[in-house]
Structure 1
Amino acid sequence: MLDSDSCKSSPSDTVTIAELTHEELESLLEFLYRGSLAPEKMDKHVYSLMLASHKYEIPYLHKSCERHLLENLNVSNALDVLEILDFCSHQKLKDVVLSFVVKNIDDIVFSAKFEAFCTKNPHLSVQITRASLIDARDRRRTGDHC
């Protein structure tokens, strides 16, 4: 990114990465130098690091963030994870998280976050609704009502 002709500048110039806070940028640089982050830093910055990995095409960071998101997927963060995977156009993992949301639909739909999520992400709300209805239909067909 910084080596391209459009980014040539003198050594005294400052490079600004506006989408990251100072702390997030420090975590990104630490990851780039070490190849990993302490779990508490990854917990705190995984969403911004995922976005940075997507924007700056950093595959190893992307894989680390994906793994962290899936290992820590739960009812309280599923909508956030779904949103970030949608933004990063990661359909395979998005489908995994969408399936998790459907399996936990009662807890998620009646959470305080869901209404704000729907307002911000109407297309994902439609996808959740459709996936939930398809799941219910399939369970009726197979006789599995659990």
Structure 2
Amino acid sequence: MVRFLPCMCSNVELDELQDQMQKLLEKQNFITTWDPETMLPPHTDVILEANDGRLVHAHKSTLMGKSVEFKNMFSALKDIVNPQVVKMDMDHRSLEAFIHFFYTGHVKDDVMTELADKLLRASDKYGIVLLHDLCQEKLMTLIHPDRIFQYFLLGNKCRAEQLVHSIISFVANNYCDISEISGYNEFLKDDPTLVAKLCNGVVKKLKVRLSDHHVKGNVTKHE
């Protein structure tokens, strides 16, 4: 007999929820929408110079309010006449996306797919936790045999533990021998310590899997 669950919300409650959702969307739109003119002189007071010489304008108060690194940087330069010019070790496209995140809390998916590794480095350096997590999530969907060692190195350098664990799981699930992975010999020469960390992580994963399999096998026998 099929039973139908009673509706958990009345029409009045649904209307209230929809009204609350609409207000949240309007609030989010207000917070994340900026007049383009305010992002250009004379309204800005800091100029960030990418490593290709191109410039990104911003407001020190916005950057300082969301990054201790920027706060320390600009506090040390407080006696310098505005607008200050700060050289950044990032290409222009990555820098633009990074600074845009300070104002909107968002990176377009195609941009994130292209720049997640660079934005992860920037978010780690400047302490932007939300962006750091979003970059990890994207990179975890982009794990590929050709990028295993590159991402493993990046994850360790940028304290991206979720990414590191995902790579270990990927290797444990797809390889009988780590030396089969493309780029293994080069990575072994460059950073044998990290190779050992990856191997140890994979071995631990496999031991847990074998242990679980053994337990399940014993349970089946007793049944």
TM category, shorter:
0.7 to 0.9
Indicate whether 1:74 and 2:149 are aligned.
no
User: What is the TM-score of this pair, normalised by structure 1?
Assistant: 0.78
Instruction: Name whichever structure is richer in strand by fraction.
Output: 2
Task: Give ranges in structure 2 of 5+ residues lacking alignment.
Answer: 1-68, 215-223
**Local SS of the residue matching 2:145:** coil
Structure 2: distance between partners of 1:42 and 1:29: 13
Residue in 2 aligned with 1:24? 94
The structural deviation recorded for 1:41 is 1.4
Query: Which of 48-57 and 64-73 deviates more?
Result: 64-73
Contact 1:75–1:107, Cα closer than 8 Å, also in 2: no
Letter in 2 for 1:31: F
2:125 to 48, 55, 61: 55
Residue 221 of structure 2 corresponds to: none
Give 1:11's aligned residue.
Answer: 82
Structure 1 residue 119, shift from structure 2 partner: 2.2
The residue aligned with 1:96 is 166
* Structure 1 unpaired stretches of 5+: none
CA positional deviation for 1:140: 6.1
Instruction: Name the count of aligned residue pairs.
Output: 142
Q: Say what the alpha-carbon RMSD is for the aligned residues.
A: 2.6
2:155 touches 2:163 (CA, 8 Å); kept in 1?
yes
Q: 1:64 aligns with which of 126, 134, 140?
A: 134
Displacement of 1:104 in angstroms is 2.1
Mapped to 2, the partners of 1:126 and 1:95 lie a distance apart of 14
Contact 1:75–1:108 (CA<8 Å) still a contact in 2?
no
Between 3-12 and 104-113, the greater mean CA deviation after superposition: 104-113
Shift of 1:120: 2.3
Please report how far the alpha carbon of residue 106 of structure 1 lies from its aligned counterpart in structure 2 after TM superposition: 4.9
User: Is this contact kept in 2: 1:51–1:88, CA < 8 A?
Assistant: yes
What percent identity do the matched residue pairs reach? 22
Q: CA deviation at 1:14?
A: 1.1
1:27·1:37 contact (CA, 8 Å) conserved in 2? yes
Judged with a 3 Å threshold, the aligned counterparts in structure 2 of structure 1 residues 102 and 32 are, in CA distance, closer, same or farther, namely same
